[in-house]
Amino acid sequence: MNKQSFEEYLENNEKLIYRNTGTSMLPLLKQGRDFFIVEKVNNRPLRKYDVLLYKRKPDKYVLHRIIKIKDGKYVIRGDNCINKEYGITDDDIIGIMTGFIRKGRQHSTCEFFYKLYSVCHCALSPLRILLFRIRCKL
């Protein structure tokens, strides 16, 4: 973006479409191939499995999934990550992912298969993390 923050862009536009960078949201989003679509939250209650664009101090933007809500704070983790991030608040959140573009085709987070992926991926994450830790010890 041209020296304009994501916050400023969303303040002036309906939605933000941005190319994914990094590997933290694999297999959902692949760097160099996919785009994500983010909109302002607009007072909608955030739920488990929502993917949020938030700002980690000092100035790092992160796109990760809510895996738990506790005491008004969010526990967040990337789909391809093993560590959770605690203490994310509404003040840190810039927007919510409402869709993504994979291989030129646009998808909504309201689609059945996306919701199924979100639930299954989170349910299987303890097994995935265990296998990762075992592999690292070998």
| Inside any domain, residue 1 | no
| Residue 15 tokens, joined | 């939605």
66 band by pLDDT with thresholds 50, 70 and 90: very high
How many folded domains does the chain comprise? 1
What is the average pLDDT across 23-47? 94
Give pLDDT, residue 43.
Answer: 81
CB 79 within 8 A of CB 121: yes
Residue 77 is part of which domain span? 6-137
Give pLDDT, residue 137.
Answer: 82
Chain mean pLDDT for the chain: 92
User: How far apart (Å, rounded) are the C-alpha atoms in residues 79 and 125?
Assistant: 8
Per-position DSSP letters for the chain, written without gaps between them: --S--HHHHHHHSSEEEEE--SSTTTTTS-TTT-EEEEE--TTPPP-TT-EEEEEETTTEEEEEEEEEEETTEEEEE-TT-S--EEEE-GGGEEEEEEEEEETTEEEETTSHHHHHHHHHHHHHHHHHHHHHHHHHH-
Tell me which amino acid residue 94 is. Answer: I
Tell me which amino acid residue 97 is. Answer: M
Tell me which amino acid residue 61 is. Answer: Y
Cβ neighbours of residue 1 closer than 8 Å, sequence gap 6 or more: 9, 18
Give pLDDT, residue 4.
Answer: 76
What is the average pLDDT across 34-59? 93
At 93-134, the pLDDT tens digits run 999 999 999 999 999 999 999 999 999 999 999 998 888 888
pLDDT over threshold 60, residue 1: no
| Inside any domain, residue 38 | yes
CATH of residue 22's domain is 2.10.109.10
What is the average pLDDT across 2-16? 86
| Inside any domain, residue 11 | yes
| Inside any domain, residue 20 | yes
18 band by pLDDT with thresholds 50, 70 and 90: very high
What is the average pLDDT across 54-68? 92
